Amino acid sequence: MPATPLRIAVFASGSGSNFQALAEAAGRGALGAEIALLVTDKPDAPVVERAQRFGIDVFAFRAKAYPSREAYEAEIVAKLREADIGLIVLAGYMRLITDVLVAPYYGRMINIHPALLPAFPGVRAIRQALEYGVKLTGATVHFVDGGMDSGPIIAQRAVEIRGDDTEETLAERVHAVEHALLPEAVRWIAEGRVALNGRIVTVRR
Ligand code: GRF
């Protein structure tokens, strides 16, 4: 592992259970990386309180205070540089992102999505899977490109859908899988085991 640990910024807009899983993994020394910053567009979101509990810096902004998406992203990029961030983890960040953010961090920005991509991209992926009637869904960690949940896939784990599942019961099992998968994928990246070649990601075991 490199002498100075990889510094991560987590972007989140809501509950932050994935943020919590990452912070706990870092606390156990299981992340191989340090969470240096939380970026949120929702200053009142529960994830902010979680970050404060872990003593992690927060950059909270309100999109409406800026003339455009590009304008707040330019400020985010400045904060990321200031904090020497090497990896961005989108974990429930509910905003579309532009090239202002994607271009400088391509290959250094990942997202967790609650479905087996390319099935069910976008919002309400758990409900989409239930309503479609698939028997398997799961979670995906992927690099972020300019599209909607369309970047190269790093890791996936499946969850079986049961006949009596509701959106809530299924979400509980998908989230449990996310909380294990995301810290694991971050650790692979921190350990320099992940190579990106076009759409294909290889992970050295
Ligand atoms: C997760 O299901 C993640 O896959 C999706 O947004 C949700 C965030 O949940 N992108 P939480 O805020 O981490 O609890």
d(CA 54, CA 189): 22
Task: Answer positive or negative: Cα dihedral of 107, 201, 178, 140.
Answer: positive
DSSP output for 106-128: TTSEEEEESS-TTSS-SS-HHHH
Domain-located, residue 157: yes
Does 129 reside within a domain? yes
pLDDT at 1 over 70: no
Signed CA dihedral, 101, 104, 107, 108: sign only: negative
What domain count does the chain have? 1
pLDDT at 2: 57
CATH of the domain at 110: 3.40.50.170
Q: Does the residue 156 lie in any domain? A: yes
Q: Closest ligand 1 atom to the C-alpha of 18? A: 13
- Whether 179 is in a domain gets the answer yes
Say what the pLDDT of residue 3 is.
Answer: 66
Q: Residue 117: its pLDDT value, please?
A: 98
Ligand 1 center to 16 CA (angstroms): 7
Rounded mean pLDDT, 13-42:
98
Q: Which amino acid, 49?
A: E
Q: Which atom of ligand 1 is nearest to the CA of 20?
A: 13
> Tens digit of pLDDT for each residue in 150-179?
999 999 999 999 999 999 999 999 999 999
Structural domain includes residue 1: no
The SS3 of residue 184 is helix
Segment 46-71 mean pLDDT: 98
CA 125–ligand 1 middle distance (angstroms): 11
> Does the structure show a pLDDT above 90 at 53?
yes
From its phi and psi, is residue 12 left (phi > 0), alpha (psi between -120 and 50) or beta?
Answer: beta
Residue 186: domain span: 6-203
Question: Which tokens belong to 183?
Answer: 């810290």
Residue located nearest, by CA, to atom 9 of ligand 1: 92
Is residue 108 exposed (0-12), middle (13-18) or buried (19+ Cβ within 10 Å)? Answer: middle
Residue with tokens 């609650």: 114
In a domain, 148, yes or no: yes
Query: Which of 11, 17, 137, when mutated, tests ligand 1's pocket best, judged by the most ligand atoms within 8 Å of its CB?
Result: 17
Q: For the segment 4-16, what is each residue's pLDDT rounded down to a tens digit?
A: 899 999 999 999 9
Q: In the predicted model, what is the mean pLDDT of residues 19-46?
A: 98
* pLDDT exceeds cutoff 80 at 192: yes
Quick check: 193 pLDDT over 90?
A: yes
Is 175 assigned a catalytic role?
A: no
Instruction: Please report the pLDDT score of residue 4 as a whole number.
Output: 87
Helix/strand/coil for 147: coil
Q: Ligand 1: residues within 6 Å at CB?
A: 12, 14-19, 91-92, 112-114, 175, 178
Q: For position 169, what pLDDT does the model report?
A: 98
Mean pLDDT for all residues in the chain: 97
Q: Which of 42, 112, 182 to mutate to test the pocket of ligand 1 (most atoms within 8 A of CB)?
A: 112
